[in-house]
Structure 1
Amino acid sequence: MLENNFDAFADTYQADNENNAWNAYYERPAILSMAGNVSGLRVLDAGCGGGTHAAALLDQGAILTGIDSSAGMLEIAQRRLDGRARLLLADLNDPLPFEGGAFDLILASLVMHYLPDWSLPLSEFNRLLSDGGRLVFSTHHLLAGRDNYFETYCFKETWHRGGKDIAMRFWHRPLHGMFDALKSAGFQIDILNEPQPDPRAQSLFPDAYNSLRTKPRFIFFSAVKL
């Protein structure tokens, strides 16, 4: 069973992501709010998945490029965006195929916790941003780990999607590890956010809503290129 193989369940993953409590009524509205006014900005959606965030950014006037390491997820994004954005297959563990200063904003939604080392992706994000550009990203909250909080370590979960068991691997980092990685890559944090769920989730997903009201699932950063 391959780990983090989104191609194996791209359609079922995206169908769930569209409307569930965690993504549609918690992560997505929070990170799009942090992105702010994107009209006319060159935006890189790093780990764009099926293009849900990209569609919202395009509707707000962004000039958008999306990258993802899953060909299956990119196919979904291409159908959704219908030529409105440039979409490329790329892995954040490798150097990215863009010139320096190519973007004004980089959005990375729930992708950083899949990466064993933040050094290269963050240095690449810094290289790709224009002067004063921003990186806005969400990742697993510090409370999501299973073992020693102070260590950086891998942990695994099994997701059940579309009748299949999918092995997922994540990386836990302590807060000081996240701060240190951002500083070393040339970023200064201007916003750290632990948002509340969208109030609409209270009637749609009461159990998830009540959980998210007291136990944050994700943590959100806005960091400025120095």
Structure 2
Amino acid sequence: MQANDYDSFAKAYSADNESNLLNGHYERPAMVNLAADVNGRRILDAGCGSGPLAAALRDRGAIVTGFDSSVEMVKLARQRLGEDVELHVADLAQPLPFGDGVFDDVVSSLVLHYLPDWSAALAELRRVLRPGGRLILSVHHPIIYKMINPETDYFALTEWSDDYSFDGQRATLTTWHRPLHAMTDAFTEAGFHIRVISEPPFAPDTPAELLPPHLRDRKAFLCFILFVLEAH
């Protein structure tokens, strides 16, 4: 089974992503909340998948452009978004097909942890942002890898694969663990000020049946970490 082959499980992933706990009721609402008032803002969705975050931002008045490296994901995004959103097949690990300083914000939802080196990707995202623009992003919380693998070195950059089931279809995802200080160092080296570090609660309207029993008396849990960065 090839890791990270989103083309092979795009429909299953998209269906699961719509209303599951981690994406539909936790990470995506938190991203939208951090973006706040986006009316009239030019936003790039970097790694847009099938377009649920792009749709949420568009519905709040943003002028959204999106790209993803998966052809099948972009096809699903086109079906969802119609002609309202400009979409591209592009890879964050390569130069992006956009001019300098053309976006007010970039959102990147659970993408950067697929890359062993963030330098080139962050430089490209900084390039396409206007001065003062925001990069709003989410990645795996760095403590999770250590919690699941207590014998490992938290401070080492480490490749990590795991098997998942999306709407009944099996898939393997490979990501890279890095400690928190490596993340923040990469942001500042790329020309960003860190404005917000967020360990968000799940959405208050989350159906109780989606929550494991041990979480039903809580308002938050650790899974992802979110950042708001300002380009300078």
Give the TM interval when normalised to the shorter protein.
Answer: over 0.9
Indicate yes or no: 2:118 matched with 1:115: no
Amino acid at match of 2:141: H
Deviates more, 1:123-132 or 1:196-205: 196-205
Q: 1:1-226 to 2 correspondence within 5 Å?
A: 1-145=1-145, 146=149, 147-161=152-166, 164-201=169-206, 203-207=208-212, 210=215, 213=219, 215-226=221-232
Distance 2:214 2:119 in 1: 34
CA contact under 8 A between 1:113 and 1:170: conserved in structure 2?
Answer: yes
Q: How does the TM-score come out when normalised to structure 2?
A: 0.93
* Displacement after TM superposition at 1:155 (Å): 0.4
**Structure 1 runs of 4+ with >4 Å offset:** 211-214
Distance 1:103 1:209 in 2: 42
C-alpha distance after superposition, 1:80-104 (max 9, x if no partner): 0011010000001111111100101
CA contact under 8 A between 2:21 and 2:211: conserved in structure 1?
Answer: no
Structure 1 residue runs of 5 or longer lacking an equivalent are none
Q: In 2 relative to 1, CA 129–214 (structure 1 residues): closer, same or farther, beyond 3 Å? A: closer
CA contact under 8 A between 2:155 and 2:179: conserved in structure 1?
Answer: yes
Amino acid at match of 1:23: N
Structure 2 residue runs of 5 or longer lacking an equivalent are none
Distance 2:214 2:169 in 1: 27
Q: How does the TM-score come out when normalised to structure 1?
A: 0.95
Distance 1:58 1:152 in 2: 36
Q: In 2 relative to 1, CA 206–165 (structure 1 residues): closer, same or farther, beyond 3 Å? A: closer
Amino acid at match of 2:195: D
Distance 2:86 2:31 in 1: 21
Distance 2:204 2:103 in 1: 33
C-alpha distance after superposition, 1:114-136 (max 9, x if no partner): 11110001011111100100000
SS of structure 2 residue aligned to 1:201: coil
C-alpha distance after superposition, 1:8-55 (max 9, x if no partner): 011111000000011111001101110111111110000000100001
Q: In 2 relative to 1, CA 162–205 (structure 1 residues): closer, same or farther, beyond 3 Å? A: closer
Query: Percent identity at matched positions?
Result: 44
Aligned residue pairs total: 226
CA contact under 8 A between 2:16 and 2:167: conserved in structure 1?
Answer: no
CA RMSD of aligned residues (A): 1.6
